[in-house]
Structure 1
Amino acid sequence: MAKRNTPTKQLILDSLKKSKSAVSQEILQKELGEAVDRATIYRVLNSFCDDGIVHKILGDDGKYYFAFCVNCSEKKHRHNHFHFKCLNCGKIECLPNEVEVKLPVGYRSVNFNGFISGYCSECSH
């Protein structure tokens, strides 16, 4: 059964698309104001993850951030890469290089969450 695109989903999707950084539920809540409640934002973000529209990043602060992967040529997020958080400007972004982790025989990877913090190219000068 196809999922319905509601005005609320479209509002959240538009906010994610225009963001230059991965965003948390709290950031979206501030941006959207009272137009969408917290529970709906979480539900829609998780639905977008399940559908492969965005991917979820566990930040060094324990919060989840959501982003479109600019490095994916497919609709679904299917590769492993590091995420970078700038300690100065706070931007969280996907790094372009894929990471290959060699696991012991018999192990199978389902998810990868690599997170690096430091200073982005704009803030490191």
Structure 2
Amino acid sequence: MTKRNTKAKQLILNLLKAAKSALSQDILQAQLGDAVDRVTIYRVLNSFLEDGVVHKIVGDDGKQYFACCKNCSDKKYQHNHFHFRCISCGKIECLPNEVEVKLPKAYRTLNFNGVVSGYCSNC
């Protein structure tokens, strides 16, 4: 089954690609206004997540943020890198270094979520 490229998907993807940091659903909603409803945004983000277009970050504030995947053509790619959340401006960004997590034999990683919080260079 082929997934349709809807106007909502394209609008959300354009915002995520243009963003210099990860975006939450409420940030996307504020930028989209009435063009796309809240439920559609969640549905599109989950679809992008399943398709490997974005990865999800759960911030230390409990919110979910989404960032476009770069060099992630392999759907088995693990996003084992830390993220930085500025406690002043709220920006969340991917940090460049991958982290190797050695698990005991027969353990499998399904998710990695590492967030460092502090002040960004602009704050």
**Common topology (TM > 0.5):** yes
Q: Which residue of 1 aligns with 2:23?
A: 23
Mapping 1:1-125, distance limit 5 Å: 1-69=1-69, 72-76=70-74, 78-79=77-78, 80-123=80-123
CA displacement at 1:73 relative to structure 2? 2.1
Q: Is the 8 A contact 1:51 1:76 kept in 2?
A: no
Please say which of residues 114-123 and 3-12 is displaced more in the overlay.
114-123
AA aligned to 2:35 is A
Q: Any idea what the Cα deviations from partners look like across 1:35-93, whole Å, max 9, x if unmatched?
A: 11100000000000000000111011111000013xx3233572310011012221100
Aligned to 1:5, what secondary structure does the other structure show? Answer: coil
**Distance in 2, Cα, partners of 1:36 & 1:121:** 33
Q: 1:76 to 1:11 in 2, by over 3 A?
A: farther
Q: Is the 8 A contact 2:52 2:72 kept in 1?
A: no
Could you state the TM-score of these two structures normalised by the residue count of structure 1? 0.90
The residue type paired with residue 85 of structure 1 is: R
Identity across matched positions, percent: 69
Code of the residue aligned with 2:14 in structure 1: it is D
CA RMSD of aligned residues (A): 1.4
Normalised to the residue count of structure 2, the TM-score between the two structures is 0.91
Displacement after TM superposition at 1:122 (Å): 3.1
The total of aligned residue pairs comes to 121
Any unmatched runs of 5+ in structure 1?
none
Offset, 1:12: 0.8
